[in-house]
Structure 1
Amino acid sequence: MSTDYQQAREALGVRLRELRLTAPEGRLTGTALARKLGWPNSKVSKLELGKQTATPEDLHQWAAACGQPELYEELRARLAGFESHIRSWRRQLVGGHKPVQDAHNEAQASSKVLRAWESSWIVGVLQTPDYARAVLTRSAELHRSPRDIEEAVRSRMKRQELLYAAGRKYHILLWEPVLRSLVCPPSVLAIQLDRLTGVIGMDTVELGIVPLSASLKVPPGLGFWIYDDRQVVTETWHAELWLDDADTLALYLRTWKTLQESAVYGADAHNAINRARRALAPQ
């Protein structure tokens, strides 16, 4: 968890404690507040110490129990401020996978120059429906999230309309193991690889493959997107990170450019994809 995120969470905790100590009907102890809310004492303590992230409902109940319901909007704004940077999957997927896909559609639609590095799977904007369905299904199983898979697939496919919009450029780098990773059935991966060969040569897409045999100046690391050199989006097992401070942007841009030095393009990229395609033949 980032230092900035933790500091923001602790600052929210301090504000919650202030509300408890300045309740109009008299100062509340942590125990008294917990009893009033029907919570364990430990939850009040963790929220105030920044060891647990409050939900909007937690904040609503806290403000009301402290006799200051009008302060809920302030608390919610504080929460939204740091959640806009670190978006936990648990929270994002409460409403299913489609809203997450819609958010990425909007982010890409508002960008003109998009850079991506991916070391785990084919990027969403280049996926076939069956490949997307396999990846999203496994994500739903992992996070035990709502199974709106077909709606999410349709949203992800809609994103591909941007590939045909003039004035937009996708610079996409894939690590060669991505081409062989069976995150879907072999037959689905075969069609997905055919799809990749089809985007080589598009005027809006520059697809580079970093061969497994290439010398790397930095480890592959996690995949990420850079939008117009103004925002980075990456993800971990527990959350998505949407980052926009100058130092972080500069670091990710250097990382992308360093990885690009090991990439092959055009016919060489086509050959790398064909090698992976041929390796599937005995499956």
Structure 2
Amino acid sequence: MPNVRQTREALGTRLRELRLDIGLNGKQFAESLHWLATKVSKIEHGKQTPTEDDIRAWAAATGTEDQVPSLLAQLRSLELAYAEWRRHLRSGTTARQQQIAAIEAETTVTRVFEPSTVPGLLQTSEYARSIITQSIRVHQIPDDLDAGVAARMARQDVLYQAGKGFHFILTEAVLRNRLCPVDALKGQIERLMVTTSLANVVLGVVPFTARLPKAPVHGFFLYDDRIVQVETFAAHLTLTQQEEIELYGKIFNLMHGAAVYGREAVALMTQVLHDLSAAEQ
């Protein structure tokens, strides 16, 4: 997973290559900008984050003004890339749900890949209660469980808005992971089966028997072709670089090829329900 240091180093490497292309060493380049040599070194080695003015000055000095928009996008990606969950959730889980809802409201096509957990837009209230309880306990944030569940349920109104499309791909593990009581899990699977009948929702499941085209390391959310969001145990990543968006779009398409849909997906979910019931006996 990318983090602040790696993202900053990537930007520094790109800037260093621009400097090397004009044949100046670090000291000479710093003098041309009336900077301390240490500033150039720190930026290039990912020890210091450049400002937007620094980026523009760097591009002007290397004759690469045409790259300013891309460089600024990379800088903003760095600024957004890593937000600690404790800070993100410092006021509880409700605010986070509202932030996601705002993004979903301005998105036309939402694509979601999940290898372990039912996406929030498809969760039942019982399932959501178990997931949000885990977040509150693990991250030791304010307990706003009821409000957080209500906010997550309110987000689901977007599924029924005209002009919006949704494509979800889940692994079979999502259906079997015991993240809530068995009865709640069975109710959640039944909800997913109903979801397959919605005209603007496409739901695929990657069976355990499928040959995986890429290891399902983590889930992600693609909002149109402008934002990718990734959740880790420690952080929430917002990726905005075009290369990153294209990469996640490619991975989504690969998972699409491995998934089953329609009757096959419903049959798989029915089998999981049968297995859960058999395990209770």
Q: Structure 1: which amino acid aligns with 2:251?
A: T
Query: Are residues 1:4 and 2:7 paired?
Result: yes
Equivalent of residue 171 in structure 1, options 161, 167, 170: 167
The CA RMSD measured in Å over matched residues stands at 2.1
Q: Structure 2: which amino acid aligns with 1:4?
A: T
- 1:239 aligned partner: 235
Contact 1:5/1:86 (CA < 8 Å) preserved in 2? no
Q: Structure 2: which amino acid aligns with 1:114?
A: T
Equivalent of residue 274 in structure 1, options 266, 270, 281: 270
TM superposition shift of 1:145: 1.1
Listed as ranges, the gaps of 5+ residues in structure 2 are 12-45, 49-74
Count matched residues: 217
Q: Structure 2: which amino acid aligns with 1:180?
A: R
Contact 1:116/1:173 (CA < 8 Å) preserved in 2? yes
After superposition, give the CA deviation of every residue in 1:41-71 in whole Å (9 maximum; x if it has no partner): xxxxxxxx969xxxxxxxxxxxxxxxxxxxx
Cα distance in 2, alignment partners of residues 272 and 113 from structure 1: 26
Q: Structure 2: which amino acid aligns with 1:195?
A: R
After superposition, give the CA deviation of every residue in 1:206-251 in whole Å (9 maximum; x if it has no partner): 0000101001111111000000011100111110001110110111
- 2:92 aligned partner: 96
Cα distance in 2, alignment partners of residues 149 and 80 from structure 1: 33
Query: Are residues 1:228 and 2:232 paired?
Result: no
- 1:34 aligned partner: none
- 1:260 aligned partner: 256
Query: Are residues 1:141 and 2:137 paired?
Result: yes
- 1:132 aligned partner: 128
- 2:188 aligned partner: 192
Contact 2:113/2:221 (CA < 8 Å) preserved in 1? yes
Cα distance in 2, alignment partners of residues 115 and 252 from structure 1: 10
Cα distance in 1, alignment partners of residues 137 and 151 from structure 2: 19
The percentage of aligned residue pairs carrying the same residue is 34
Q: Give TM-score scaled by structure 1 length.
A: 0.73
Q: Give TM-score scaled by structure 2 length.
A: 0.73
Contact 1:199/1:205 (CA < 8 Å) preserved in 2? yes
TM superposition shift of 1:85: 2.6
Contact 2:77/2:240 (CA < 8 Å) preserved in 1? no
- 2:198 aligned partner: 202
Cα distance in 1, alignment partners of residues 136 and 79 from structure 2: 21
TM superposition shift of 1:84: 2.6
- 2:102 aligned partner: 106
Query: Are residues 1:212 and 2:208 paired?
Result: yes
Please state whether the residue corresponding to 1:95 is helix, strand or coil: coil
Cα distance in 2, alignment partners of residues 95 and 7 from structure 1: 33
TM superposition shift of 1:82: 4.5
